[in-house]
Structure 1
Amino acid sequence: MRITQGQFSFLPPLTDDQIKTQVKWALDHGWAVSVEYTDDPHPRNTYWEMYGHPMFDLRDPAGVMQEIVECRQAFPTHYIRVMAFDSSKGWETPRMSFIVNRPDNEPGFRLERQAVEGRSLRYTMTSYAVDRPEGDRY
């Protein structure tokens, strides 16, 4: 199973040249770009760990590509994504998000059912990866 989050998630993995093209497009629009990583890709886990700092006022995609390379070296078995934020309206609005690194094995999610008051059922999704401790999930 393959995690499908962000843009391009239904396509084959992007090459570094394709990633660079997308980053350039974001930078050409004046968006701040950041690189983030996680070993818990739950769809509601929107706050991934940031690698380095957001790159405000950057105009050359080479800086972002260097951050991606370094993050891949530091966390080779984690999910890594590129985020682009538009602050032109006075607030940080995510405009672009796509995964640039995945673990070799993506175990997916399970649906858990819980009985609550009044014979009602409540469902939640849990990643199979979180059965193992953080840092040892992939």
Structure 2
Amino acid sequence: MRITQGCFSFLPDLTDEQIAIQVEYCLRSDWAIGVEYTHDPHPRNTYWEMWGNPMFDLRDAAGVMMEVDACRKAFPDSYVRINAFDSTRGFETVRMSFIVNRPKAEPTFHMTRTEVAGRTVNISMTAVR
């Protein structure tokens, strides 16, 4: 199963050159870049681990790509994503987010539906490796 979260998730994986082009677009838009990783790509897991601090003052895509490569090397069997933050309104808003690394074997999810009182249905999802 292929995890589909963020921009470009239904496309084939982006090459490093294509990732750098997207980072350049973000930097031209004055968006700060953050790199995050996780072992748990559950759809409700929105808080991934940060790889260093967000790069608010960086103006070169090569610096972001160095951080992405370092994160990939440190966590080769994890998901790594790039987030682009816009702070023009005085608070951080995610403008773009996309996955730049995937583990070799992606987990699948099993959904369990349980009927409870009345017409209520509880749904739970568990990762299956």
- What TM-score does the superposition give when structure 1 sets the normalisation length? 0.88
5+ residue gaps, structure 1 = 130-138
1:59 and 1:107 map into 2 onto residues whose CA distance is 35
Residue identity in the other structure for 1:60: D
C-alpha displacement of 1:119: 6.3
8 Å contact 1:30–1:57 — kept in the other structure? no
When the two chains are superposed, the root-mean-square deviation of aligned CA atoms in Å is 1.2
**Identity of aligned pairs, percent?**
63
Aligned to 1:84: 84
Aligned to 1:41: 41
Aligned to 1:122: 122
5+ residue gaps, structure 2 = none
C-alpha displacement of 1:128: 1.9
Indicate whether 1:96 and 2:96 are aligned: yes
Aligned to 2:18: 18
Aligned to 1:54, the other structure's residue is in SS state coil
Partner deviation per Cα, 1:58-104 (whole Å, 9 max, x = no partner)? 10011110110000000000000000000001110000000000011
Aligned to 2:66: 66
Aligned to 1:47, the other structure's residue is in SS state coil
Aligned to 1:106: 106
Residue identity in the other structure for 1:104: K
Residue identity in the other structure for 2:15: T
Q: How many equivalent residue pairs?
A: 129
Moved more, 101-110 or 90-99: 101-110
Residue identity in the other structure for 2:106: E
1:89 and 1:63 map into 2 onto residues whose CA distance is 25
2:63 and 2:128 map into 1 onto residues whose CA distance is 34
1:119 and 1:21 map into 2 onto residues whose CA distance is 49
Residue identity in the other structure for 1:14: L
Partner deviation per Cα, 1:96-124 (whole Å, 9 max, x = no partner)? 00000001111221101234334632112
1:84 and 1:77 map into 2 onto residues whose CA distance is 23
2:115 and 2:19 map into 1 onto residues whose CA distance is 45
C-alpha displacement of 1:34: 0.6
